Amino acid sequence: MFGIYLKRELGRRKKAALVIALGLALGIALVITVNSVSAGMTQAQDKVLKSLYGLGTDMTVTKARTAPASGSSGGPNFKFDAKSSSSSTQSSDRVQTQGGQALKSSLVTKVAGQKGVESAVGALSLDVTKVDGSFTQGKAKSSSGSSTSGSTSGQGQPGGSSSSGGAPQVQGGGANFNVNSYSVVGVDVAHQGLGPLSTMKITTGRTFTSAQTGAKAAVVSKSYAKEKKYKVGSTFKISGTKFTVIGIATPDSGESDTDVFVPLKVAQALGDAKNQVTTIYVKATDSQQISAVKKEITANISGTTVTTSADLASTVSGSLSTASSLATSVGKWLSIAVLAAAFLVAALLTSSAVSRRVREFGTLKALGWPSRNVTRQVVGESMVNGLIGGALGIALGVGAAYAVTAISPKLTAQLGNTGGGGAGGGPGGGPGRQASQNTLEIALSAPVSLTTIALAVGLAVTGGLIAGAMGGWRASRMRPADALRSVA
Amino acid sequence: MYRLTGVTKRYTRGKETVEALRGVDLTIEDGDQLVIQGPTGGGKSTLLQMIGGLDRPTEGSVELDGVDLARISETKLTRLRAEKIGIIFQSFNLIPTLTAQENVETALVPLGVKPAERRERAAEALRSVGLGERLTHAPSELSGGQQQRVAIARALVKKPKVLLADEPTGNLDEGTRDDIMALLEGLWHEYGLTFVMVTHDSSIARRAPRLATIKAGRITLTEQGGGQRYAHAQQAAAHSTQPQQAAAHTAAQPQQAAHGRQPYVEQQYGGGQGH
């Protein structure tokens, strides 16, 4: 009878059942969406951190920033041959370790030897600033005759002004040059599983073999290869050294920080940084013990800065971080509020539906139905309402989450400078590029996990139970004498 | 057998206390028929509630076969209602979402009757009130008279000892009223029920062998005698499986009943006595 009665009630009071179910569905859908988007945010943040660190990297060790010695590392210095004839093309590369700060290679072994460290790999980051162009010498002319301007380029005319005196004039001198900077990272070819290349996927060609420690070979990022039209087999020069492209790599997410990867030894030679590294990538034996390992390293190896992914996460800013905090705070409260409202509405509607059925339940009691049977009927009805609401809510929420994934709104993440801001006096290479290097664009997805679905089902059951408890309580309080009420 | 002793019922509405029944003493023998009449608010329905175990008196006792309904536990009272008491209501009180057959089945649910047997007995009960063709109809698809027949089938499907009716014809037109009354009287006789009915309808009241009038919570009993009316009712009962015929028989009955009426034998009960 329970089943038949339940079926008939829900079948013949579809509208009321649907209103309750829809209310619950809305709340549940919102919870699913917010949960999924939050999960997507977390994934995006993880991606950001991983792109910076590499899979499996728990922390990095860099040299603690020190104030620069005055004048010693000022702006970049380029040397051009001033004696060459007019219109000659010249090129000059300036290679500098990133941040101008490096650690001794021997520290890699020392870090690897610390308690809780599973492995450590060193890498050397270099900033290469290439200036090339043509320089035109000014020409000396006698004063006789009409004076003409030598150059129409509008560029510097150091001696170009004409004077009425009879002295010889220098006209038409100028320079036309491009400044191009890019980043080169020297990687430990023997341990590519950890470190900067671990976040990259080789899409064309191949990566270094562990024997290629001194090879003049390079893996370039896809974006840089596109910009320079490099292909596997192309050659280019850094500071006069010729490199062959052996592979093109795409980062797992976002844009690559690094344009060119070369073997560590080669990079050290290029940057005049023999036995030096800029960053040591560390993998801890236990990911739960990261802060302890950080303490260990900081205590035992002075002059270093240890940055964990947690430290980095706090420096992530930009729309990703805004959206992330929005999803976790506003989204969470919004879904709680909507859910609470949905529960309340369901409870009130169920309760009022029970009140309208006073005579019906009174009659059943008069017929000798025990209170628990009547209550069970009411709770059963609202449980089914809850489950219908849950199913609708799951459909709606999963739909919304898929829509978010399909649209995949782009979020940007700015990674703050973890080494103490600009206090150390960065290289003059190009502040604009430096900033863009730390900005990642991540497509947001909203993965729906089984846990979320389970949560939704749990909420549906809870909603049904709350509404049922409210209605059931009312029904249980009805007296059999209510059957005789004259209200229709 | 019912024995009501000093039944008093007070309701508290806000600060006001209303005394719906004042020391009612009443005995109803097994198989007896009692019609309760009286002005609105006089306590008719309250008395019916006490007899039906739907509510408990504030004072006094309501004994059914020696069991005091005022004292037994709620569970036992519920069980007693399920087993022994069939009730018919003015507004039929069918569950609007259930079919006629399912409505009748609801009376067998608390008795733990198995579904198959429940369905069979419900169908049989509906056939006995002339609704064998309407088993799967919803109440809204039935006329008032048919709905009351379903309610009668529901009250009697469990084969109760007592049949209570609260204005069973109050919502029906005259013709249908006579149908239903003929049916009820027939069934009362056929099943040997103890039949207590509240009514406003004086033409029905006149046909009862025993009439209780309730005014301001006090009861006055009138013995009307008159077995001949029920000879007719018996005839109607014999035809109760063919309600149309039964209706034809009962249509002329009020006049006959009026002609055959005997002088009232008035007797004061309950309210008139101190206790």
Q: Residues A434-460: pLDDT tens digits?
A: 333 456 677 778 888 888 889 888 988
Average pLDDT, chain A: 78
pLDDT at A423 over 50: no
- CA-wise closest residue to B56 among B20, B30, B83, B32: B20
Give exposure, A246-279, as e/b (b: 16+ Cβ within 10 Å).
bbbbbbebbebbbbbbbbbbbbbbbbebeebbbb
Share of chain B above pLDDT 70, in %: 81
CATH at B244: 3.40.50.300
Q: Which residues of B fall below an 8 Å CB-CB distance to A?
A: 45, 48-49, 52-55, 75, 78-83, 85, 87, 89-91, 93, 95-99, 102, 105-107, 109-111, 115, 118, 138, 154, 166
Chains A and B form CB pairs within 8 A to the count of 90
Does the ipTM exceed 0.85? Answer: no
Cβ–Cβ below 8 Å for B87 and A488? no
Which residues share a beta bridge with B35? Answer: B197, B211
Q: How far is B200 from chain A (nearest CA, A)?
A: 15
Write out pLDDT tens, residues A70-99.
444 455 566 666 555 555 667 777 888 877
* pLDDT for A434: 39
Interface contact flag, A367 B154, Cβ < 8 Å: yes
Does residue B239 register a pLDDT over 70?
A: no
Say which of B54, B83, B109 has its CB closest to residue A369.
B109
When CB atoms are compared, the residue of B54, B87, B105 closest to A1 is B105
User: What pLDDT is recorded for position A166?
Assistant: 52
Which pLDDT belongs to residue A286? 79
Number of domains in chain B: 1
Tell me: pLDDT of B272 over 50: no
* pLDDT value of residue A97: 81
- What is the distance in angstroms between the Cα of B250 and the nearest Cα belonging to chain A? 28
Query: Under an 8 A CB cutoff, do A363 and B97 touch?
Result: no
- For residue A369, the distance in angstroms to the closest alpha carbon of chain B comes to 5
Q: Give residue-wise pLDDT tens across range A264-320.
A: 999 888 888 888 898 888 888 877 788 888 888 888 888 888 888 777 767 666 677
**Pairing label, strands A174-187, A260-263:** parallel
At residue B2 the predicted structure's pLDDT band, cuts being 50, 70 and 90, is very high
Burial of residue A82 (number of CB atoms within 10 Å: 0-12, 13-18, 19+): exposed
Q: Torsions phi, psi of B158, nearest 5?
A: -90, 5
Mapped onto helix, strand or coil, the DSSP state of residue A119 is strand
The confidence score (pLDDT) of residue A135 equals 66
The Cβ of residue A173 has, within 10 Å, a number of other Cβ atoms equal to 19
**pLDDT at A369 exceeding the cut of 90:** yes
Report the distance separating Cα A459 and Cα A10, nearest Å. 21
Average pLDDT over residues A214-226: 89
Domain residues for the domain of B22 are: 2-272
Q: In this structure, are residues A53 and A251 in contact, taking their beta carbons and an 8 Å threshold?
A: no
| pLDDT for A173 beyond 80 | no
Window 303-362 of A, Cβ < 8 Å to B: 359-360
Contacts of A371 (CB under 8 A, 6+ apart): A365, A475, A476, B78
Measured between alpha carbons, how far is A23 from A349 in angstroms, rounded to an integer?
Answer: 10
Could you tell me how many helices (H) and strands (E) chain B has, helices first? 10, 11
Average pLDDT, chain B: 82
